[in-house]
Amino acid sequence: MNPNKFKSDIKKFRILLIILTIIHLAFILLFIGSFALIVNYGILDIAVIWLWIFSTVAGAVILWIFRTIFTFIVMRYEGKHMLITPKKNFDNILMILFTGIIGLWLWIPNKKEVDQIIKKAVPSSEVEKSPNVNPQ
């Protein structure tokens, strides 16, 4: 395991997760805002209501597909590079599937956990030899 590449990958996952979270929040705000408009203006036209339902469902499906792809990428990375037991990997998959975006935030390791993973995976002599590793 290359410590620098591992840290870089976790940063990339964190950036992608921030983008995914912002998209989720924007979808929720649009959903609530459009529902409030329909209720406040008393829109009873069935075509408009069906269009709103269809667009909401389509948006939710698209977000679910993006989240599923991201989850699959994260789980494959975890299985290959993070050296965890298959049971722990399965538990993480279940957590992410049932908790969604919150589970992804719970999964992503913080800086302290990243350093612990590197210490477990790479002997200390290799970490000292590796350039650009900042011990803190």
The answer to the question of residue 69 being in a domain is yes
Quote the pTM value. 0.78
Confidence of residue 77 (pLDDT cuts 50, 70, 90): confident
The answer to the question of residue 71 being in a domain is yes
The answer to the question of residue 135 being in a domain is no
Mean of the pLDDT values across residues 107-136? 70
Tell me, what's the pLDDT at 18?
94
The answer to the question of residue 22 being in a domain is yes
Tell me, what's the pLDDT at 107?
85
The answer to the question of residue 38 being in a domain is yes
Number of domains in the chain: 1
Tell me, what's the pLDDT at 31?
94
Which residue range forms the structural domain that includes residue 109?
A: 3-127
**pLDDT per position as a tens digit, 16-74:** 999 999 999 999 999 999 999 999 998 889 998 999 999 999 999 999 999 989 988 88
Tell me, what's the pLDDT at 106?
87
Tell me, what's the pLDDT at 134?
53
Sign of CA dihedral 3, 5, 11, 14: negative
Q: Which of 112, 28, 20, 27 is nearest to 71 (CA)?
A: 20
Which of the pair, 80 or 125, is modelled with greater confidence?
80
124's enclosing H/E stretch is: helix 124-129
CA 22 to chain centre: 11
**pLDDT per position as a tens digit, 91-121:** 888 888 888 889 889 888 888 988 888 888 7
Q: Which of 106, 38, 43, 108 is nearest to 73 (CA)?
A: 108
The answer to the question of residue 28 being in a domain is yes
Q: Is the pLDDT of residue 125 over 60?
A: no
The answer to the question of residue 51 being in a domain is yes
Tell me, what's the pLDDT at 131?
55
The answer to the question of residue 134 being in a domain is no
